[in-house]
């Protein structure tokens, strides 16, 4: 087999594996009543850095912490809005959350700023009431997505080795 044919075959295999994995992950998300778009947050997080199992776990951990920061921020805005008004409460809370999240980039591990912000964006896009159940719901969706990203990355390698 020529190198060009092998390269084309590899390209097509990676594409097909990713598409099948995405379809199966979306079906799984729907089956357990998780938002498909939030599953893709985890998929994106997988590909932000590393492409190793360790990076997968760190990236996902940063998304989860971003979700937690989002829930805490939403709670804080609700607490401060009656006193300061929404127009002041939101920027104050965003300032504090941004200080914390951006400073975490200096950690030796769990320092993926993009994943922290993916978690924050996912939390606010979901419009959920802050609760452990809501956090678990969103963490589950992002976990499913990270697992799907990991599968779509590693499965083609197994196909070509076999």
Q: Is residue 121 a part of any domain in this protein?
A: yes
Domain range enclosing 39: 34-150
137 part of a folded domain: yes
Give the pLDDT confidence score for residue 98 in this predicted structure: 97
pLDDT at residue 161, as a whole number: 52
> What local confidence, expressed as pLDDT, does residue 106 receive?
94
Among the listed residues 90, 50, 49, the one whose alpha carbon sits nearest the alpha carbon of residue 73 = 90
DSSP 16-82: HHHHHHHHHHHHHHHHTT--HHHHHHHHHHHHHTT-SHHHHHHHHHHHHHHHHHHHHHHHHHHHHHH
Count of the separate structural domains present in the chain: 1
2 in a domain, yes or no? no
142 in any annotated domain = yes
Residues 6+ apart with CB under 8 A from 142: 38, 39, 41, 42, 45, 60, 63, 64, 67, 118, 119, 122
φ and ψ at residue 107, rounded to 5 degrees: -70, 155
Q: Average pLDDT for consecutive 10-residue bins of the chain (162 residues)?
A: 67 92 97 97 95 93 98 96 95 97 94 97 96 97 96 81 50
Confirm whether 5 is domain-assigned. no
Query: Is residue 161 within a helix (H) or strand (E), and if so which, with residue range?
Result: helix 132-161
Token pair in block for residue 71:
């829930």
Residue 14 resides in a domain: no
- Model confidence, pTM: 0.88
Q: Decide: 58 and 109 in contact? Cβ < 8 Å.
A: yes
Q: DSSP states of 121-144 as a string? A: HHHHHHTPPSSHHHHHHHHHHHHH
- The SS3 assignment for 162 reads coil
Domain assignment present for residue 13? The answer is no
Give the Cα separation of 162 and 102 in Å (integer): 43
Query: What whole-number distance in Å separates Cα of residue 81 and Cα of residue 86?
Result: 5
């Amino acid at each position: 087999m020529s190198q060009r044919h092998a390269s084309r075959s590899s390209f097509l295999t990676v594409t097909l594996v990713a598409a099948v994995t995405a379809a199966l992950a979306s079906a799984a998300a729907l089956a357990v009543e998780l938002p498909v778009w939030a599953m893709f947050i985890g998929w994106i997080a997988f590909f932000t850095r590393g492409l190793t199992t360790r990076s997968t776990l760190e990236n996902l951990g940063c998304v989860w912490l971003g979700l937690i920061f989002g829930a805490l921020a939403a709670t804080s805005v609700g607490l401060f809005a009656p006193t300061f008004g929404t127009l002041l409460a939101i920027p104050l809370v965003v300032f504090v959350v941004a200080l914390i999240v951006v400073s975490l980039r200096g950690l030796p591990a769990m320092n993926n700023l993009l994943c922290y912000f993916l978690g924050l964006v996912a939390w606010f896009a979901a419009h959920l009431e802050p609760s452990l159940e809501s956090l678990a719901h969103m963490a589950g969706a992002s976990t499913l997505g990270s697992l799907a990203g990991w599968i779509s990355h590693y499965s083609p390698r197994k196909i070509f080795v076999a």
